[in-house]
């Protein structure tokens, strides 16, 4: 990660969403590769990231996208590296039907 300057303020250890979308997400509990981040949930009141969203592969792909996705709470993210995001989850609790 690098420092990003924003309106004269240096934001240390920042990463852009576009860069996170290129990262592979791995569950450290099982060693499973979950896929890549496709979306994030942001709290409208405080502007903080609440969760990352990853399509669940291996299921039947419906016409307009995936049937299920992982919604991983921000507190389950253990590390964001240059090419990996490490999460600690019980996968069955994070799989939700797509809306």
Domain 16-97 has what CATH class?
Answer: mainly beta
Q: Select the more confidently predicted residue: 96 or 12.
A: 96
Cβ neighbour number for residue 48 with a 10 Å cutoff: 9
Can you give the residue ranges of every domain in the chain? 16-97
Tens of pLDDT, residue by residue over 34-87, are 999 989 999 999 888 899 999 987 544 554 566 889 999 999 999 988 889 999
Give the global pTM.
0.77
């Amino acid at each position: 990660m690098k420092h990003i300057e924003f309106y004269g303020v240096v934001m240390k250890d920042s990463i852009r969403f576009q860069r996170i979308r290129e990262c592979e997400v791995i569950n450290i509990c099982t060693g499973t590769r979950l896929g890549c981040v496709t979306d994030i949930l942001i709290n409208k009141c405080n502007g903080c990231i609440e969760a990352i969203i990853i399509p669940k592969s291996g299921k039947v792909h419906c016409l307009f996208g995936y049937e299920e996705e992982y919604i991983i709470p921000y507190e389950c993210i253990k590390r964001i590296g240059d090419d990996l995001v490490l999460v600690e989850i019980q996968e069955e609790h994070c799989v939700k039907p797509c809306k």
